[in-house]
């Protein structure tokens, strides 16, 4: 994420590389952490201008590299929220994922 929530108004990842690394979830994925990492469902809109879609693709690839069960969807025409995220197709993907990983588990 490159914006005011992490770096302040007008801020950039280039202004503070250490802060950028701490804000990057990929920094925390390794062999040890992967063993206790739950499955991931990553969905990203291809029209997102706040967080670029390639960022979640990098996260997905890092998770898979360390053996974490990760599922990735790039949602066409969806931004960083909005009506595209409440469509039946999206809801069904989420329900299927939760059923697969949680149903029958205590």
Q: How far apart are CA 69 and CA 82, in angstroms?
A: 27
Q: Which domains does the chain have, with CATH numbers?
A: 4-102 (3.40.50.1820)
Return the closest-CA partner of residue 49 out of 20, 4, 79, 9: 79
pLDDT tens digits for 61-83?
A: 999 999 999 999 999 999 999 99
What contacts 56, CB < 8 A, 6 or more positions away? 42, 44, 72
- Percent of the chain at pLDDT > 70 equals 89
Report pTM.
0.81
10 pLDDT band (50/70/90 cuts)? Answer: low
- The phi, psi pair for 71, rounded to 5°, reads -115, 130
Q: Is the pLDDT of residue 104 over 80?
A: no
């Amino acid at each position: 994420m490159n914006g005011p929530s992490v770096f302040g108004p007008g801020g950039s990842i280039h202004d503070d590389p250490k802060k950028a690394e701490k804000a990057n979830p990929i920094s925390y994925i390794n062999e040890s952490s992967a063993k206790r990492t739950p499955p991931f469902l990553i969905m990203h809109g291809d029209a997102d201008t706040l967080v670029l879609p390639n960022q979640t693709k990098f996260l997905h690839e890092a998770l898979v590299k360390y053996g974490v069960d990760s599922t990735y969807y790039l949602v066409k025409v969806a931004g960083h929220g909005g009506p595209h995220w409440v469509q039946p197709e999206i809801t069904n993907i989420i329900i299927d994922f939760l059923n697969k990983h949680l149903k029958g588990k205590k």
